[in-house]
Amino acid sequence: MIESMVQGISVLFQPVMMLSMFLAVIGGLIFGVLPGLSGMTFMAIFIPFTWGMDPALAMTVLVSAYAVASTGGSITSILVNIPGVGPSAATLLDGFPMTQQGKAGRALGAMLVASGLGGVEGSFVLALLIPMVMPIVMAFGSPESFFLIAMGLSFIAALGHGSKVKAAISGLLGLLLAYMGYHDATGFARYTFGSSFLLDGVKIIPCALAIFAMPEMIHLMISGGSIVKKGTMVRASGADILEGVKDVFRHWWLHVRCVILGVFVGIVPGVGGDVAVWVAYGHAKSTSKHPETFGQGNIEGVIGPESASNGKEGGAMLPTLALGIPGSGAMAVLLGAFLIQGIQPGPAFLREHLDLAWTIVGTLVLSNLFGIVICLFIAPTLIKVTRVRGHLLAPLLLCIMALGTYCYRNSLSDVFLMLALSFLGWTMRQLGYSRPAFFLGYVLGGLAERYFGISILSYGWKFFLTPISLTLIAVTIFSIAYQPVTSFLKRRKN
């Protein structure tokens, strides 16, 4: 354990890794600042370029950018009332009123330190939890892995923001897409329409780009103009940034509580960052001495959600790394990146690649620290990116996505497939179908079928009669039934 930790973390101090992390942090901040783009979009765009890369370097780049994207997103939340990423939405409730009151610097300072330190503390919690889950994951075989994946699939409905039925339809469509191509066990070609190109199925890169990144590009192309409307004041005074930094230490206990909340909400697969920040905001308000000033520029309304926002990343990593269940859409994309590297996150991951797990923990800590330092210096300049016109940004990003898709396996058909699938992604985006649920279904669908096949061959139809499998089945049923049953009981009581 100690050896793996030293090995995994020492890798990060190589000059190439430090430089890559630094550049990825800047990339992540820029993607966070741009509304519609996020750390997840960065990962989706960058995944193709990780093909053939050293796994530690690839993960460092992806995780660094993802870890700081919500910090970037909160900059625009505070300054221009536009959340760069979903979880930044809670910050604007009090952050933007502070800007209107001329306290933008103070809000920015508090936001940067709360989110940065939250990320560091969340990573430490992840580091503490890894040894605890090790003995559990050592007992996992193919039946347990199947039920674990089934449990992950059961969170599909939770990934949707609106209608649960729409989220379930999205997830099932993703599953169906995963079955395209050769069937592992029989070698039978499914849904290929006689095309040899589809025999390998739809690859993860065209799918990730088409579902997450391309719809944003199409939106940018249709909407035109710059990301921020003309006439919006995009300026931040640096005078009271230090005051904001001090605010976090004045409210250190609120910060710690919200980080812990963020970590534990992050651990629950399918719940994700959007929930964590709102839970933290609610907690900050309910425990504040001045709840009546929330929404009018209360600094606690900035510190609370920001502490949870980056703190949750450590928690979200745990089920992804240790159990192979992505806790959010971004974690599903990260899971895809692991698969491209030939690494299967899940019980076997901590056995075989424990050093890589520590590299990821170290990356979370260092990238958050980098993020704070960089943002303190460049935040006022960084927000100018929002003024870049969509007509200049969209063609460049479209070309980079096409290049990335092509380079994955030198196939032009992949590029065309990505363009064609992007209209499905766009339609889903417009009609409120959950794209993370679709991608989760796509990523886990093939694995579920594979583990099911192996379990049947190895143990027969009684493969589910193991203690861990039965526990997992019970947890799955409980997690599916809990909300409907409690709301039914509440209705009946009323």
Give the binding site for another protein (CB under 8 A). Answer: 163, 165-166, 168-169, 172-173, 175-176, 179, 183, 185-186, 188, 190-191, 218, 221-222, 224, 389, 391-392, 394-396, 398-400, 402-403, 406-407, 410, 412, 415-416, 419, 422, 427, 430-432, 445, 448-449, 452-453
Q: Torsion angle of alpha carbons 324, 435, 480, 89, nearest 10°?
A: 100
Q: How far is the CB of 210 from another protein (least distance, A)?
A: 12
| Shortest reach from residue 224's CB to another protein, in Å | 7
Nearer to another protein, 419 or 475 (CB): 419
| Structure tokens belonging to residue 138 | 């050592």
Alpha helices in 139-189 (DSSP H): 142-154, 156-159, 164-178
**Residue (97 or 171) nearer to another protein, CB:** 171
Give least dist CB 265 to another protein, A.
27
Question: Which of 139, 165 has the CB closer to another protein?
Answer: 165
What is the amino acid identity at position 13? Answer: F
- Least distance from another protein to the Cβ atom of residue 411, Å: 9
Shortest Å distance, C-beta 169 to another protein:
5
The enclosing H or E element of 189 equals strand 189-190
CA dihedral sign of residues 364, 69, 44, 18: negative
Q: Which is nearer to another protein, 68 or 417 (CB)?
A: 417
Q: What is the DSSP letter of 210?
A: I
Can you name the residues that pair with 189 across neighbouring β-strands?
Answer: 182
Asked if 450 and 148 count as a contact pair (C-beta separation under 8 A), the reply is: no
The angle, 0 to 180 degrees and rounded to 10, between the axes of the packed helices 412-431 and 214-223 is 70
- Residues 60 and 99 sit within 8 Å (Cβ to Cβ): no
- Chain centroid, CA 164 distance in Å: 20
CB of 22 or CB of 416, closer to another protein = 416
Q: Are 78 and 107 in contact (CB under 8 A)?
A: yes
Q: Is the dihedral of CA 351, 352, 353, 355 positive or negative?
A: positive
Between 220 and 303, CB nearer to another protein: 220
- With 0-12 / 13-18 / 19 or more C-beta atoms within 10 angstroms meaning exposed / middle / buried, residue 329 is buried
Smallest separation, CB 149 to another protein (Å): 12
Nearer residue to another protein within complex by CB, 387 or 389: 389
Question: How far apart (Å, rounded) are the C-alpha atoms in residues 76 and 385?
Answer: 10
Q: Six-digit token pair at 12?
A: 């990060």
Q: How far is the CB of 326 from another protein (least distance, A)?
A: 19
235/387 with CB nearer another protein: 387
Least Cβ distance, residue 162 to another protein (angstroms): 11
Minimum distance from residue 463 beta carbon to another protein (Å)? 15
Q: Which is nearer to another protein, 78 or 401 (CB)?
A: 401
Residue 47 contacts residue 89 (beta carbons within 8 Å): no
Closest CA to 267 of 460, 374, 126, 170: 126
